[in-house]
Every structure is written in structure tokens, then in C-alpha cells.
Amino acid sequence: MFLIKLLLLLLIGLTYGEDYYKLLGINKAADNREIRRAFKKIAVVQHPDKNQDDPEAHAKFVKLTRAYEVLKDPESRKHYDMFGVEKETSSWSNSKYHSYSYYRDHFGIYDDDPQIITLNSADFESNVLKSDSQWFVNYYSPSCSHCHDLAPTWRKLATELEGAIMFGAVNCEEDWNLCRQQNIRSYPSLVFYPTNERFNGDRNRENLLEFILNRLKTDIRFVNSNDDWEKLTVKNEYISWLLLLCNGESQTECLSVQERTILAAMLNNLVGMAVIDCQAVAMCKDFLDGEYSTAVYWEKAQHSNSYAARVLNNKQPLEMAKEVLDYIPGLKQLDTGSFKDILNQLEMGSQTAWLVYFHLGAAAELDVEVKKLPAMLQQLNVGRVNCGHHATICSDLSVSRYPSFAVLKPGGGYEFYHGTVSAHSVAQFAKESATAINLRTLSQHLFPQLVTESQDGNTVWFIDFYSPWCPPCLRFLPELRKASRTVDSVRFGTVDCTIHSQLCKEHNIQSYPTTMLFNRSEQAQRFQGEHSAHSVIDFIQDLLNPTVIKLNEETFYTKVGMKSPDSIWVVDFFMPWCGPCQALAPQWRKFAKLVSDQENVHIAEVNCQEETKLCSQQGVRSYPTIRLYPLRSHGLNTVALYSGYHRDAKSFRQWLFSFLPSRVVELTPDTFTQVLQGNEYWLVDFYAPWCGHCNVFDPEFRTVAQKLEKKVKAGKVNCDSYRSLCQRTGVTQYPTVQFYSPGSNNYKGLEITSQSADRIISFVEQKLANHYTRIHDEF
């Protein structure tokens, strides 16, 4: 069998031996858009329909298509990067491809349009849903004719409104899961964010433009007197203004309302914008020449009342906005000396973070775009480094892609941006990153210095090994930032495995993201759980303050093997490499916390990779194996095996509680009457044996009964057996919990709507407190 697998692997390697990245002419850091563009460029040249005289055309194109299919999918790309071959699938040798016209006309509709950002599931949440920017997103399918009909209009609008609003596109054929999450059911679907409004109507330029203009964020001031002008200049809201100086009673020579709105949106938060009535405001005479309206860039000196003014040469909103951006000062240039000074100041306690733009040579269009950043990031400093002139800075930080953006943080750490390069997206990242000072990027040099060989042996690190092309990795990074703000007892770090591949190999990283907790006092622990801040925090707290007892051969026999009859042990025997065991791990920790208040109940685990002898002695042959050593048994004399289908915390708790004595009394119609006539408080759970929610709720109710044992009695009524009784109490759904005061004689008690033990306890204690307060007041 091994020989067959080896031969198959060699066959795949020989058939698809070419480097897929070289085949498409891209580097290993290429994102999905770059991959699509590269493939399309080759496809329209090398397609067999265009090379019918070449007998090898079909075979060549199959290889190209296969390279694209492997690299566009995160899972198959991850496998290819790690092992140099693609995953074995039944279809690996049967690659198909579309017609020449498909690649020419339908493939990657918006990939060549810089004004339209192709979004995917990795960057949609951070760029769109969590952004302050306004977006108009086109959800389309390449095979949809209406989508192609819309494309020219969409491109034209994106060009006209560049900078006023962000235009996005989502290919629902490739990112169907994102489209399903956004409830997209037809193509094209046009959605405006952040209000999540859908466009309905004829998809022509006029209708779409009107829809957008009615929603654009603008701040246009109207100056109709000298007093208005004085107020505008005294407030110092903006250092610079774009002034539209208008002559004539109706201001007909000014930009139209539509043009003003577009221009104001393009310059929103960058400069102020005001419309001046020059028949009423004296300052206009300094700028106007004749009877025509003029646009003026007006900049006030920071420490004096002087100002500088420039008359704009252009008349169209987009060109006017570009001219204004040309007048705005560029980012501060940083050299080796000033960069080191910044790092030193941050290490010494400076609290103002820096966003740094790393570039190689000139990038005229991007240089204009990044000028927007200082206005968007008024709480941060913003600078730039030309890596062609200051290579040492960039090599020290392992800058390998251009352009790159990094946030330098208080304390001396830094973090790189990964995603679409636009001022809005970079600014959103910078705001998040600057507040996550407990998270920093680690390099091959810094990792041993700070983590594995640190002089401070007590520092615990939570390290994320990732790749910037991996969508789950990019979704996880914002969650790490959130977690790092909450847990200050642990340091957080990230390692880019496309740059520091050797470091990742040293730690046996075989998939992305892989996250590990490094504690010098014990072996590194791999994170298992959801890629969310909440899950990360729980994982760290569980490891630093464990509720699960780790057993070895000695402690297993002294603690479990010699257990007393009044204690219960529940033990998980697992293997670290076992997939189901890895999935179980976070649920097992959650289970331990859920039952941590149960007396004499101990939740433990045995690592069978480390304790081979012990697991063999106990006859453990499959993983995970969960065993319970119950009450009224000595040591290992009695054992129960968990055989439930569901391996989650609540299912384990329900199973455990079936072995514990209950403080909940089963009530009949006769005993229920005694409850109503008695002089004690009661909580009653009305349930049905067939009701799944009732079974899940049962451990919660038993926990309530245990915690309130000395204050309130607890009972339960089987409504399948006593339907008439449940009808008299007004119970119509299960489970229902009702609270009864002493001597109420009323079958319908006070219903408690929550099924949370903590909330039920809080409700009851509040009622009891009110009762005793009332008695005290009467005396």
C-alpha cells in the first residue's frame, strides 16, 4: 500500500512538476486578484482555440488551468505550499477549461479596474462592515448576462466618483459563501453600505447616480455674510479650505448641486468646503477676476493670521479633487536616523503610534492617495520610507512587498497591513492596530530573543503563524487584536510564514493559521477552537488557570486509582494528533468550567502520546475515550464510558448529572397541592420527557436547586403524565419554570422566562430580598 501511494505521489509530481507560481508568472505572496489577472493574461494568449496548430496546446493549457485552480483555493494552495504537490483528488487528472471567449469576456470582470475593489470573504468584514467608509458593492456572477450589461456603467460610475465612495465587486461564483451570508439571491445585486440598502430599479447611470448622491457623506458650509466668514475662520475646524467663490444673485456660475456633492464627498475630512456668496462677502474681491466663479484652495498658517491661497485651474470635481490633493503636503520623509529616533521614543514611553508607508521608487498615483492618511488618522503620526534609499530600515523589518504599510506602536512593537491598498482600508487597519499595543510582529531574529530564549523566563507568548494570502488568517488577525487588548498577562505575536519560512518549519507549522501558546516552563500548546477573540481568551485563561487536571501515570493511580466513594472523576484519554481530540479540547475545557462548582467532581485528561504505558494498561484503543468513575465506587472498580453522539460541554454535563444525586423533587398532583399550601418557597420545572430543550435545561435547573438549597425548594412536573395539572398552571410550552411563594394557593405561579442558572438564581434572590425588606418595613 505504501509503495502504491509513493508511486501515485511521484506520478502527480511528474505530471504537475512545474512550479505553479512560475507557471503563472507570480510570486508566492500574490493575492487572489493577482492570481486571476495573471491567469487571464496567459489564458487569452495560450488558449487552444487560439493555438489550433499546436498539438501540445491542450496539455499546456490543462496545466495552466490546474495551476490556477490550485492556487485560487486557500485549502489546496496551503497544501501545495507545504508539500510541493496538490491534494490527491478524483478529478486531478481531468481538468477542464472554458472557451476562449469566456476568458476574454467573462473571466474576472473587474480585475483590471483599479477604481473597483474586488472583495472576498477575507477582507469584506474589515473593509466594509467594520469600516467608516461608504461602499457600493456589486454582487455578480461571470455567467450572468445582466451583470455584463451593467459592467460598463459600473466602471464609468466608479471612475466619476473615485474618492467620493468606495466601489466594490464580489464574484459570487468564486465566493459563494460570502454572498450567501449577505443574503444575495439574484445577480447583479447592488448594496450600499454601511446602511445595507439595496438598489431597486433600472440599472442605468442616472438612477444609480441619484441613489448614491442621496446617501453621500458631505459637509458643505454656506457663507452668506462677512460675519459667517469670520466665524468660519475663527473656529479652526480645518487648517485648509476649498472655497467656491460665487458671483451672481442665484450663484448660477458655481458648481451644480450634484458637482458640489461629489466634490465634497471626495474631500470629506481632508479639507473644509464652503460656498461663498461673493455679493455679500468682502473677501471675494481678493480672488475674483471679472464676473466668473472661482474655486480657491485657502490655507491658514498654524501660528499666525496669515494665509496662502491658490486658484484652482480645473472645473470638474474629480480633477479639482486631484488638484487639491496636490496642494496638500506629502507624508514626512523618514531616513535611518529619524526612524531609529521614532523607535527609541516609542520604546521609552511615547504613546503616539506611527503609520509608515514603505515604497520602492516613485508611485505617483499612490503618493496622492496616501496624502489622505494624515487627515484620516489625526491621533497618529504618518511618515514614509523610500526603501531604495534606506534599505537597512526595510531589511531590518523584513519588508518584502511594495508598497507596504506598518504601524509602529508604543513599546517598540510593529505590525504590517495586509489587504487592499486604499487610504480608507489602511486607515481602518491603523486605528485598530495602534490600540493593540500588546500585539507585535516577530521575525527570525526577534522570535528567540523575545520568546524562546528571553532573559525573562516568566513571559508567556501567544503566537500566530500565518500567511498573508490565507483568508482565514486575515479574518483571524482582527480577533487577535481584540484578544490582545483584553489579556495583558500574555504577550501576543505574529509570524509571516511566507517571509520567515525557516522559523515556521522549526515549529512544525503545516497549516495556516496555526497558533501556539509558548510558556518557558512547559511545552508549547496549540490553540484549538474558533478563530474568535472570545475563544482565544478562554483558551489562554484555561491554560494559565486550568480547570482540567492533567494526569500522568503516577497521579492517575494516586488520585483516580485511590479515589473515595464520595467523589467522581471524568477523564478524557486523547492523542494530540487526533482530529476529533483537537475538536473536543475546547469543549472539554468549557465542560470543566461549567461543573467547577460541583463538589467532589474532578475533570481530568491523559495525553496518551506522553503516557503510552498508562493508556495501554487501561485498555484505551481509540481516541478520544471518555471515562467516568462514579460515586459509591472505590478507585477504578466501576467505570462508565461516554458513548453520546454529541461531544460538547452541555452534553457532557448532562451525562455527568445523570450520575449525581438530585435535589429536585418529582411532583405529582397531590404533592403539588401541598406545595401550594405549604410555607416554603418553590421553584417548579414543568417538562416533557420527549422535549430536547428540557433535557438540555435539566442540568441548569439542578444547579439552581443545589445553589438555592437552603432558601428555596425545587421540584419538577412531568406534563406527559400529569397533563391536567400542567393545564391548570397555564403551561403551554416546555420547559417552563414557575416561582411559588408560601401559601399562594394559586396554580399559576410567577413565570421565569430565562433558562440560565445564573439568571434564575438572580431572579429568585431578588424576590426573596424584596420579601424580607417588606417584612422588615412592617415591623
Catalytic amino acids? 578, 581
Placement of cell 509602529 in the chain: 408
DSSP 448: I
- Residue 650 · residue 699 · CB < 8 Å: yes
Cell numbers describing residue 507: 515549529
Calculate Rg over the CA atoms of the chain. 34
- Residue 295 · residue 267 · CB < 8 Å: no
User: Which 3 state secondary structure label does DSSP give 609?
Assistant: coil
Cell numbers describing residue 565: 466513594
- Residue 576 · residue 607 · CB < 8 Å: yes
Residue 83 CB coordination number (10 Å): 11
Sequence-separated contacts (24+) of 27-35 with Cβ below 8 Å: 28/81, 28/469, 28/498, 29/400, 29/401, 29/468, 29/469, 29/498, 30/71, 30/469, 31/468, 31/469, 32/72, 32/118, 32/120, 32/174, 32/469, 33/111, 33/118, 35/68, 35/71, 35/72
Cell numbers describing residue 608: 496518551
List, as one string, the DSSP characters of 245-294: EE-STT-TTSPPHHHHHHHHHHTTTTSEEEEEETTT-GGGGGT--SS--E
Specify the length of the chain in residues. 779
CA dist 493 and 480 (Å) reads 9
Smallest CA-to-CA distance from 567 within 628, 624, 645, 611 is with 628
User: 520-546: b or e for each residue (b if 16 or more CB lie within 10 Å)?
Assistant: eeeeebebbbebebebbbbbbbbbeee
Smallest CA-to-CA distance from 168 within 214, 104, 103, 124 is with 124
